[in-house]
Amino acid sequence: MIEMVARFNLTSFGYLRLFTTRVLNFGNQIIEGHFKIWVFQSFNSLIAIGSLLSLLFALGCAYLFVFPSFRPVTNSVGIPKSNSSFGVCNVFEGRWIRDDSYPLYNASQCPFAERGFNCLANGRKDRNYLKWRWKPKNCEVPRFNVHAILEKLRGKRVVFVGDSMSRTQWESLICLLMTGVENKSSVYEVNGNKITKQIRFLGVRFSSFNFTIEFYRSVYLVQPGLVPRRAPKRVKSTLKLNKLDDISHKWIDSDFLIFNTGQWWVPGKLFETGCYFQVGGSLKLGMSIKTAFRIALNTWASWVETTINTNRTRVFFRTFESSHWSGRMHRICKVSRNPLTKTKGRERSSFSDIIMKVVNNMTVPATALHVTPMGSFRSDAHVGTWSDTPLVPDCSHWCLPGVPDMWNEILFSYLLS
């Protein structure tokens, strides 16, 4: 197209010069002296200006024709630029389709996948849960190009902050990236630590590419506190909703910062253990969990807005992960062989709604990874009884490889777009 437009303009320019020359020849016969020179110079100036404008117009047309999707797209609730002709696409609206090219790695060959998430190694026989790929309605999630991503991360710092679901995604990303590293020994935990559930910091360095992928355990994101003076006996601890976790200063100066929270915001982890909410110096014994969650998320948002340099750091918040507990007490775990065809309301979460609203109202760029709907179908992908403690069923966490791999594929569709 560019060549054709250029050829057209060169041809037009030739005809214009021929016409102008003939006019000037005629004019030379009747015009004398300085007036003839002035006319000649004026015509040449007009020709140059016209040709320049014509060339700029042609280049503009060619740019729009060849690069129609090169327009800035900003959306804080998770609608990235698509590689398709649709321009934009909500990658979180779609369905799971079977894809025999999955899984993308073997967890038994990845030293950073903890045993509790490696369902095959723990005795699971069926492999159907490994063969599903998320397909958005109007586009495709780009295939995980491990070599391109390794180069994208060269010299960078990726930080995950949250609960065990965040740790699962952290492990998934490391295992995905290790498939593109020839020297596996060049990838190591910076302090020589093994992957455990309680440790507050884990950092894996890819020394060949000079980057680290870090995980900080902060299950509430806000700061745990001691019992205030003259508090009732039932109060054993508090959550200071107006203060971010005391390790939050370690999250600064990262290049990619990915948050999550939600699994611990339940009565069994809070009120039943004597943990209540605190705002400033005031104890809030009657405050609901949802209200406290909203205050905590606003505290997080204010911290990002005032502390993080979003010109350098890209900030993400993953929404609540769907679980598939059943029974009156939500303690029965039945892992299916295939994804569900109906979500039965699990595609909605009040926690996710709060996250989406808070992220959408932020004054700096941030992106919500709205994974709740896509996880609601995957009753087949939970750990179930295939963990390192098989007597304790698990319909919250995911097997690796599995659903968290798709979170990372979507995450890097943003980072590579």
Tell me the per-residue pLDDT of 276-292, one tens digit each, with 9 for 90 and over: 999 999 999 999 999 99
Regarding pTM above 0.85, the answer is: no
d(CA 406, CA 417): 16
Q: Is the peptide bond before 103 cis (omega within 30 degrees of 0)?
A: yes
Return the structure tokens found at 305: 């807005």
d(CA 195, CA 295): 32
Confidence of residue 50 (pLDDT cuts 50, 70, 90): low
Q: Helix crossing, 2-30 with 33-66: angle to 10°?
A: 170
Burial code of 214-251, b = ≥16 C-beta within 10 A, e = fewer? Answer: bbbbbbbbbbbbebeeebeeebeebbbbebbbeebeeb
**H/E element holding 50?**
helix 33-66
Confidence of residue 2 (pLDDT cuts 50, 70, 90): very low
How many other C-beta atoms can be found within 10 angstroms of the C-beta atom of residue 74? 8
Confidence of residue 81 (pLDDT cuts 50, 70, 90): very low
Place of tokens 């320019």: 13
Residues 284-334: pLDDT tens digits?
A: 999 999 999 999 999 999 999 999 999 999 999 999 999 999 988 888 999
Q: Counting runs of H as helices and runs of E as strands, what totals does the chain give?
A: 8, 17
